[in-house]
Amino acid sequence: MARIFAYIAHKDAVADDTAAELAAAANKIDPAASPTAIVTGCGPELDAVCHALRASYGEVWKIANEALTYPNAELVRKALVNILPKDSIVLVVHNHFGVDLSPGLSIKLNSAFVSDVLAVEGVEGTSLKVVRQEFGGAVSAHVRCDISSGAVINVRPGAFKPLDSAPTNGTVVDKSSEVGVRAAGRRYVETVVAESGDVDITKHQVLVSIGRGIQEKDNVAIAEELAEALGAAVSCSRPVVDAKWLPKSRQVGSSGQTVKPKVYLACGISGSFQHLAGIKGNPFIVAINKNPRAPIFQIADVAIVDDILEFLPELTVRIRDHSLYPTPRT
């Protein structure tokens, strides 16, 4: 089988958590493979990352270039195209960088591209069978990918459990002189850090989180009343921010805030993986949704099939009643 590579992101001299997940994904594709990590960047930070990755990768390809200090997908693509052997299998994390890099990389390598892979079922001949999801996670799909001329595979973060194997003692190979990075049609300018909002949802133990099911701006008050009764804060999923019903600072998800509450009430939220990626610390998840097939029910501790616009106000009233007569301490 073709050689397997994993492009590893890093920040502040530390490899991304997903480095071990990509190694696990490579192992699922070919248990006999010794995958190679590719890391781009510059300076001592890059060296530190390469050194650390020797524990999980037999070989680490270092690409040091000042132009790659910030990972500009176009420049990274040009570098990879110049150094990857023909018919390689390349694993990339399916996040804002993978979405930027991989589709174009597959074109330039003339290889197949499979996006957002959750699981690998196996390889038969030159056909790789993987699991994906469609319709925001409502249904899964088996997808077959012809890897005879290589493949670029975007792997969903968190989907592959890191291997429980002993650390390897890999070697770092300096590929910097082979990449020939040139000018890009797109140039990184700066990163603008998100503004903090009126409420810091990352600090709350209980979140009443609302999604598209809240239907209109005026209904946000229903969630606010419940949150007040619970001593909770109101957070939300992407469609609520897109509709400008709540500010971006209230959004839970990979492109919003990462929260670690004890209890998470997902109200009218379908449960895309980007949303779930923002919920950490294994909270008690209550899902209330009128669609019994909403993906949120796949990860919930408690499932309630109901219309939040009717359920939440009644819940608020009952909680207020309970608060008047707190359960006696024993």
Partner 1 sequence: MNILVCARRVPDTSENEIELNAAGNDIERDDLVYSVNEPDNYAVEEALQIVDRVGGNVTIVTVGGEDDEEILRREMAMGAKHAALISDETFSGSDGKGIATILKAFVEKGHYDLILTGVQAEDGAAQVGGMLAALLDYPFASLVNSIEVLDGKKLKVSREIEGGNKEINEIDLPCVLSIQTGINEPRYVGMKGIRQVASVEIPTFGASELGIDPGAVGEAAAKVKRADYFVPTPNKAAEVLEGSRAEKIDRLIELVRAKGGLN
55, 99, 199, 309: which one contacts partner 1 (CB under 8 A)? 99
Per-residue DSSP letter, 219: G
Cβ 24 to partner 1 shortest distance, Å: 17
Residue 183: Cβ within 10 Å count: 9
Cβ 118 to partner 1 shortest distance, Å: 9
CA dist 231 and 23 (Å) reads 43
Looking at the Cβ atoms of 51 and 132, the one nearer to partner 1 is 132
3-class secondary structure, 306: coil
51, 140, 162, 163: which one contacts partner 1 (CB under 8 A)? 140
Report residue 11 as tokens: 């920040």
CA dist 23 and 91 (Å) reads 9
1, 14, 139, 173: which one contacts partner 1 (CB under 8 A)? 139
Stretch in the footprint of partner 1 (CB under 8 A) among 17-25, 54-62, 164-172, 189-197: 189-197
The answer to whether 9 and 18 have CB atoms below 8 angstroms apart is yes
Stretch in the footprint of partner 1 (CB under 8 A) among 24-32, 34-42, 56-64, 131-139: 131-139
- Which residue, 174, 170, 138, is CA-closest to 64? 174
74, 87, 224, 228: which one contacts partner 1 (CB under 8 A)? 74
- Side-chain half-sphere of 64: how many Cα atoms within 13 Å? 12
Stretch in the footprint of partner 1 (CB under 8 A) among 31-39, 82-90, 140-148, 174-182: 140-148
Which residues inside 191-210 make contact with partner 1, applying CB under 8 A? 191-194, 205-206
Cβ 161 to partner 1 shortest distance, Å: 12
Q: Binding to partner 1 by residue 187, rule CB under 8 A?
A: yes
Cβ 6 to partner 1 shortest distance, Å: 19
- Which residue, 115, 120, 112, 111, is CA-closest to 95? 115
Q: Binding to partner 1 by residue 82, rule CB under 8 A?
A: no
25, 266, 300, 308: which one contacts partner 1 (CB under 8 A)? 300
Residue 171 parent element (H or E): strand 171-174
Q: What is the dihedral of CA 62, 113, 237, 199, to 10 degrees?
A: 10
Stretch in the footprint of partner 1 (CB under 8 A) among 45-53, 60-68, 91-99, 166-174: 91-99
210, 230, 236, 269: which one contacts partner 1 (CB under 8 A)? 230
239, 246, 267, 269: which one contacts partner 1 (CB under 8 A)? 239
Report residue 194 as tokens: 């998100």
108, 224, 228, 309: which one contacts partner 1 (CB under 8 A)? 108
- Which residue, 289, 245, 255, 249, is CA-closest to 271? 289
Which residues inside 271-290 make contact with partner 1, applying CB under 8 A? 284, 286-287
CA dist 148 and 2 (Å) reads 9
Residue 124 parent element (H or E): strand 119-124
